[in-house]
Structure 1
């Protein structure tokens, strides 16, 4: 079995990935975190920070496969920070002899219309391969799962508000995917030579507008629809302050996410199915799973 390192091992995707890798029989696992003393999941915790290149050598020593699941979305200077972090990791991975980096990026056409957030994800994807380590990039839109920021925005809006006024960009289409399916794909591409140096688009079966996602979530959560009115003028800045008011998402993170919501992000190719076959959950199914996991967590 290969030795695997997961960065962001305590994050939304990382902690679920660590459990899935362990369940799949990978017993040589490292969980990279800035606070290894407090890590309580599967595998061996190792200290490391992608912003500190000197900390990466020990974390990556002897590693065959490295998952890169970190970003700085909550920082106003996230583009510069994420680019430098990717350069640091690329160089350290090459030095350590890593044979595959697996990266979870963002969907979106390379046509010049990407938001700063999505442009940054695309830049990181490129920078990770700068020193010659083959990168397997999985591009996803909204990941639906308990604790995910994008899902939490939806859940809290639906739970808190009897009705909603939303900006015109809420009619943009996206292709949400369940957290379980993201993790299934991440595990499935590990150590697969046919996935080395390739980009895959991943998504659930439903292409929905943000309004449709809110309505489905409301029906599942409340058993009824929520009135939604679209208005032509509601800037990303105003929208981010509104989100910070009615949810627990901070203004900077909200603004960076909202900037991306005017861009249609849907899957245009399905080659991932050749390597990791299987059907994905519908959006409604993923909402039910996320809500059930939240209830179990609170019980």
Structure 2
């Protein structure tokens, strides 16, 4: 099958492209700067800007496309940026005759007053659904893997702080999923016609609080942090705290923190009957992520 991947330079997209190649698909990637992207053998690279649909028309001669683009930033106009990019893509893909689009969004119930970024992801989902193709949406919580901003925040906090005075969000329920499992679902839905036009929730085998994830990450790093939750740290103060205690930039930490107040748990696991994936435990996902990162200076001095 001829496949287009947007967001190919990102955390998920960078793993999806070689997986699609391994599955014998003809892969095209859309990037903003072709000189900064080193594609796997056989992958066609098209340079373009999602805000300018005419710039990537040549990339749309495909059967299916993955939309893996989100603004992970604290800037005020991120929602408008994401909305316009998704709208342009939906129109362009429809006009080009793309048959299927696969979108990776976020878990969370609308009634739980989703954070701005989670609301934006849900809006992008609705915009993409206006296209004249079959949209498959996968919704996930935190994805565990080397290079994930959410995982990196947890890893660094667990590494650097033996005692943490944390915000209330550490008690929020979350169903993390290993990045390998996300890729397996993303690739797998293409082979199951029944998934076209459907929305699915994907998650790992365990529901944990962020405090439990911090503790278990610490155990893998050789120590278990002591975590004390207090009610006075607002999302903004929490973001500054994370920015101070980790290498995660404030502009990334702020939207991450804002979303941590929302429970992100799978309530509909229908996809397991359609796309068989042997779920990876949180501890195994941690082991793989830490092994891929290699030795870290801050871990050695913690």
For Structure 1 versus Structure 2, the TM-score category normalised by the shorter chain is over 0.9
Cα deviation, residue 24, structure 1 = 1.4
Cα deviation, residue 38, structure 1 = 2.7
Paired with 2:126 and 2:291, the residues of 1 have a C-alpha distance of 37
Query: Structure 1 296/194 Cα, relative in aligned 2: closer, same or farther at 3 Å?
Result: farther
Query: Structure 1 128/65 Cα, relative in aligned 2: closer, same or farther at 3 Å?
Result: same
Paired with 1:244 and 1:208, the residues of 2 have a C-alpha distance of 24
Query: Structure 1 7/107 Cα, relative in aligned 2: closer, same or farther at 3 Å?
Result: same
TM-score by structure 1 length?
0.95
Paired with 1:131 and 1:229, the residues of 2 have a C-alpha distance of 47
- In structure 2, the residue matched to 1:36 is 34
CA contact (8 A) 2:46 2:56 kept: no
Query: Structure 1 264/55 Cα, relative in aligned 2: closer, same or farther at 3 Å?
Result: same
What runs of 5+ residues in structure 2 fail to find an aligned partner?
298-302
User: Does the residue aligned with 2:66 lie in a helix, a strand or coil?
Assistant: strand
TM-score by structure 2 length?
0.94
User: Does the residue aligned with 1:137 lie in a helix, a strand or coil?
Assistant: strand
CA contact (8 A) 2:104 2:138 kept: yes
Indicate the larger mover: 172-181 or 42-51: 42-51
Cα deviation, residue 75, structure 1 = 4.5
Paired with 1:294 and 1:261, the residues of 2 have a C-alpha distance of 24
Paired with 1:45 and 1:53, the residues of 2 have a C-alpha distance of 16
- Deviating above 3 A after TM superposition, structure 1's stretches of 4 or more consecutive aligned residues are none
Deviations 1:110-169 (A, max 9, x none): 325211111111110110121322110000000000001000001111112222111112
User: Does the residue aligned with 1:150 lie in a helix, a strand or coil?
Assistant: helix
CA contact (8 A) 1:100 1:191 kept: no
RMSD between superposed Cα atoms in Å:
1.5
Paired with 1:240 and 1:297, the residues of 2 have a C-alpha distance of 23
Indicate the larger mover: 288-297 or 126-135: 288-297
Q: How does 1:109-188 map to 2 (within 5 A)?
A: 109-111=109-111, 113-188=113-188
